[in-house]
Amino acid sequence: MNKNVLMMVEVVSNEKGVDPETVFQALEAALASASKEHYGAEWEIVVNIDRDTGEYETFRCWTVVDDEDENFESPERQTLLARAQLDNPDAQVGDIKTEPLKSIEFGRIGAQKAKQVIFQRIRDAERARVVEAFQDRIGELISGVVKRIERGNVIIDLGNNVEAIILRDQMIPREPIRPNDRVRGYLYEVSPQQRGPQIFLSRTKPEYLMELFKLEVPEIAQGLIELKGAARDPGARAKIAVQAKDKRIDPVGACVGMRGSRVQAVTTELAGERVDIVPWDNNPAQFVINAMAPAEVESLIMDEEAHSMMIAVNEDKLAQAIGRGGQNVRLASELTGWVLNVMSSADAESRKETENQSLLQLFMDGLDVDTDIAAILVQEGFASLEEIAYVPTEELLQIDEFDEAIVDELRTRAKDVLLNRALAKAERATGTKPADDLLAVEGMDEDTAFALAEKGVITRENLGDLATFEFLELLPDFDEAKATQLIMTARGL
């Protein structure tokens, strides 16, 4: 009988490729489960198998709890400290009290139950083994043979009874994949599941493209060229940014390879996906210009606060710059991390002129200066009153038309306007506030809403009850046509 135990452990261990100790523990659990069916389901029973002889012993167990423990649940599994100390004076709370039981015979165990317990433990051990083997390989390329395709998901056989899965949305669109094909994927997740460890591969992530270039370009593996990022429209087009650590190396040429051999190998692996290799640049504007290739950028305006750029190209290059379905500009935006807006040079010039006119009016109204002074400020690149108030005096004095007196006066006026705005904002915080529905009226700005609230017009309904002349009596400097429009909007007309 004992030899049968040792033989079973050896056979299962060799067949499943798991440690014999795991099989011993599974068998002990199976024997304990069968013993509970024999003695009582509520009993706590453990079985110990001698690893050398195959002999096993069975024990009933109780956990020792404090005599006053409010969590005492069941005398079937627990015993009070006082009672435990009758048999063992040294017993302490938390100890396990044991009592030998007659072991049931191995041959009388329900074969199905023993098999279920043993193989469940073995499956758990296999899952743990696979997770341990692949957890440290996240970020690598994994290859295997297509085993089957289920509802668009591709199951890959990695060998040694290990499977990986490429979900449908991680497959390159329209890529022909058939059973028994050898397929590569980027390992991005290992997640233990009830049905076994799930090893998730991807053929669409930008990292997959980068790993393929590492395989094809020795200079990348040697650290002479660094991959700075990638963006993909899987199966159609991709952009990858590269930088040479050694100025003597052409990073783009190295990645393209002799007669395009290296980039062509990557394209073939990606089912024909066209790859643009972009030189990385520390200057964001130059990097964006590089990323927009093959389109040529005529000019660009950077808005650092919004982290966006307005890009101007020739009218006949506009379609190329945008790309089919916006593909080129979208990939360039993903690669650089900047929001990119592409327009023709004529539209960019028109937009710039409109913005300059707005700035011109801002400076004329805010600083109380004439058109000439405001135009000089716009021409010199100033875009706000804050810049005029707080840029170093020396920067303003570099303007040929300005002397020290003009600079001091402009700075003083700008600071006064900003101070008045801050005071007005603080006053609003403590004064009468407009209702949310008044602020929500189309065409209403915050300054107007607070000004009306101070005059007792707090809600949308209050505004709708006004006549235009009443509105202008409250705010005499307000535009009459706009006042009428706000009132009509508040009335829902």
- For the chain, give the mean pLDDT: 85
Q: Which residues contact 330 (CB under 8 A, 6 or more apart)?
A: 233, 323
Mean pLDDT comparison of 131-135, 305-309, 439-443, highest-scoring range: 439-443
Mean pLDDT of the region 190-216: 86
Question: How high is the pLDDT of residue 112?
Answer: 57
pLDDT interval class at 113 (50, 70, 90): low
Question: How high is the pLDDT of residue 129?
Answer: 75
Mean pLDDT of the region 126-134: 77
Which CATH superfamily groups domain 137-202?
A: Nucleic acid-binding proteins (2.40.50.140)
Question: How high is the pLDDT of residue 89?
Answer: 85
Residue 124 has pLDDT above 70, yes or no: yes
Question: By percentage, how much of the chain surpasses pLDDT 70?
Answer: 94
Q: How far apart are CA 183 and CA 147, in angstroms?
A: 10
pLDDT interval class at 74 (50, 70, 90): confident
279-290 pLDDT per residue, tens: 999 999 999 999
Ranges of each domain in the chain: 2-123, 137-202, 436-490
Question: How high is the pLDDT of residue 214?
Answer: 93
224-255 pLDDT per residue, tens: 999 999 999 999 999 999 999 888 889 999 99
Q: How far apart are CA 188 and CA 185, in angstroms?
A: 9
56-67 pLDDT per residue, tens: 888 988 888 887
Residue 270 phi, psi dihedral angles, 5° rounding: -100, 25
CB 63 within 8 A of CB 91: no
Distances (CA, A) of 277 to 252, 312, 318, 337: 6, 22, 21, 16
Lowest mean pLDDT among 14-23, 380-389, 437-446, 465-474: 14-23
Mean pLDDT of the region 394-417: 86
pLDDT interval class at 114 (50, 70, 90): low
3-state DSSP helix/strand/coil percent for the chain, to nearest 5?
A: 50, 20, 30
The residue among 92 and 41 whose pLDDT is bigger is 92
Mean pLDDT of the region 143-158: 90
Question: How high is the pLDDT of residue 21?
Answer: 84
pTM for the model stands at 0.60
Amino acid found at 431:
G
Lowest mean pLDDT among 105-109, 223-227, 228-232, 433-437: 105-109
pLDDT interval class at 110 (50, 70, 90): very low
Distances (CA, A) of 73 to 66, 77, 78, 465: 12, 8, 7, 72
Laid out side by side, the sheet with 237-244 consists of: 225-233, 237-244, 274-279
pLDDT interval class at 429 (50, 70, 90): low
Mean pLDDT of the region 30-43: 81
Residue 195 has pLDDT above 70, yes or no: no
Structure tokens of 95? 């100890």
Residue 111 has pLDDT above 70, yes or no: no
- Domains 2-123 and 137-202 agree in fold: no
The residue among 26 and 263 whose pLDDT is bigger is 263
436-490: what CATH class? mainly alpha
Question: How high is the pLDDT of residue 19?
Answer: 79
Domain 2-123 carries which CATH code?
A: 3.30.1480.10
Q: How far apart are CA 228 and CA 231, in angstroms?
A: 11
The residue among 188 and 395 whose pLDDT is bigger is 188
Question: How high is the pLDDT of residue 394?
Answer: 85
Dihedral class, residue 15 (left if φ above 0, else alpha if ψ from -120 to 50, else beta):
alpha
Q: How far apart are CA 285 and CA 263, in angstroms?
A: 26
